[in-house]
Amino acid sequence: MTTDDPPPIRRLSEWDAARLRDLADEHGTPLYVIDQGRVRENVANLEQAFHAEAISYAVKANTVRTTLETVADTGLDAECASAGEVKRAVEAGFEAVRYTAVNPPAADLDHVVSLSDAVEDLDLVITIGAADTLAALEERGYDGPLAIRVNPGVGAGHHAKVTTGDAPKFGVPFDRVPDLASDVLDRGFDLVGLHAHAGSGIHDEDDLQAHRELVARMGELARDLDHDLDFLNVGGGLGVPYRPDEAPLNLDRVASATREAAGDLDATLGIEPGRYVVADAGVLLTTVNTVKPTPETTVVGVDAGMTTLLRPAMYDAYHEIRSLAPDADDREATAATVAGPICETADVLGRDRPLPAPERGDVLAIGNAGAYGYEMASNYNSRPRPAVVSLDGSESELAVERETLSDLTRLEIEQ
């Protein structure tokens, strides 16, 4: 790596505290901040390591319009899991879109099929994970390229809830793929690829070994099919270090291992990272509203909670938390449990964290919030969703407005 190469990870300590405080003052909290420059750096890291492979961005990681436009401008393709994501990707300027349908609702298929004819020069591939979806596409008159999502029986990821490669919900069972491929061709469809995905947040050696096993199985399957494919996509899920003492992935090593596991292919090998592109490009800012000493811990109540950042409650995920108080370095450290305003015991963003003695009005920053942060925000407890600010160099702009209490009932019909 030369001195001009972007660093492999951006730690929470590297964000400019004064600038983040200014953004919190200007826009209020809770507030997501996404750095488009870091998004580009992460894409550059991926392209340097996976230079021979096709890279698609897993749109579900972050669909904020400015972020999608940034990724589209780098030249990556888009991988989408819903009609809404396809719509967002097309409107953001992606020229090549793969719709990976997971038990797709009829309305999703209607929209995506209509786009295949309505959007000029759109390179659209629909990936099916069940024979039923093939029949549904045939009923709608779809005649574009298809790929098959395979269940290779190999899963990995940071939590059981995001391990997909061995879950029956995802993909066609490995041994049934040749028969489905023959059926696709017999019905006159253009079978262009195979797809599989081990899971999300692949980071440790066990996860990487599972990823290599999945790739090896998929490479074998691609060679055994009596049909030439354009691509073999082996998914994404590349993890990032959420804890400050964790090392980042060695992308060159992962890329080499992926190529080696795939073996000789006539098809292009592809990956679809999402988290790696955006996670460390985003932080969540939140303001302390309550400091409550208890016999067990000091509870630090903040205005962000599980409706703002769901991952800790959903996956027991760890996110680093940093005080942005100007005099933070002069305060004595306190073991704090950072909790939100939601009426749930699960509404905790971090337990027993060493923080400079917190005070009401302090702004805290929560790291690695660019992936699956704003995407999973909800209105539970009738709480409005937060605003999003986009940074690009010295410039900043509001990318998503903060919801208001009036927005919560905007779609409701008065009787």
49 shares its domain with 165: yes
Q: What is the pTM of this model?
A: 0.93
Residues annotated in the binding site for pyridoxal 5'-phosphate, as ranges? 237, 272-275, 372
Question: CA-CA-CA-CA torsion for 46, 48, 253, 171, nearest 10 degrees?
Answer: 40
Residue 261 sits in a domain whose CATH number is: 3.20.20.10
Residue 291 sits in a domain whose CATH number is: 2.40.37.10
Residue 71 inside a domain? The answer is yes
Spacing of C-alpha 317 from chain mean position: 14
Residue 24 inside a domain? The answer is no
- Give the confidence band of 329 by pLDDT, cuts at 50, 70, 90: very high
Among 245, 275, 305, residue at a domain's last position: 275
Query: Is 260 a residue whose pLDDT tops 80?
Result: yes
226 shares its domain with 301: no
- pLDDT (tens digit per residue) in 85-132: 999 999 999 999 999 988 999 999 999 999 988 888 899 999 999 999
174 shares its domain with 296: no
Residue 403 inside a domain? The answer is yes
**Cα-trace Rg, the chain:** 22
298 shares its domain with 174: no
Contact 125, 101 (CB under 8 A): no
Residues annotated in the binding site for substrate, as ranges? 275, 311, 315, 344, 372
Residues annotated in the binding site, as ranges? 237, 272-275, 311, 315, 344, 372
261 shares its domain with 375: no
129 shares its domain with 196: yes
Residue 368 inside a domain? The answer is yes
**Mean pLDDT for the stretch of residues 171-175:** 89
Residue 40 inside a domain? The answer is yes
Is 343 a catalytic site residue?
yes
- pLDDT (tens digit per residue) in 355-382: 999 999 999 999 999 999 999 999 999 9
Query: Is 157 a residue whose pLDDT tops 90?
Result: no
Catalytic residue, chosen from 52, 343, 405, 413, is 343
Residue 29 inside a domain? The answer is no
Contact 242, 317 (CB under 8 A): yes
List helix spans (H) across 56-196.
Answer: 65-74, 83-92, 106-118, 131-139, 177-186
* Number of domains comprising the chain: 2
Domain that holds residue 72: 36-275
Give the model's pLDDT for residue 159. 37
Contact 333, 295 (CB under 8 A): no
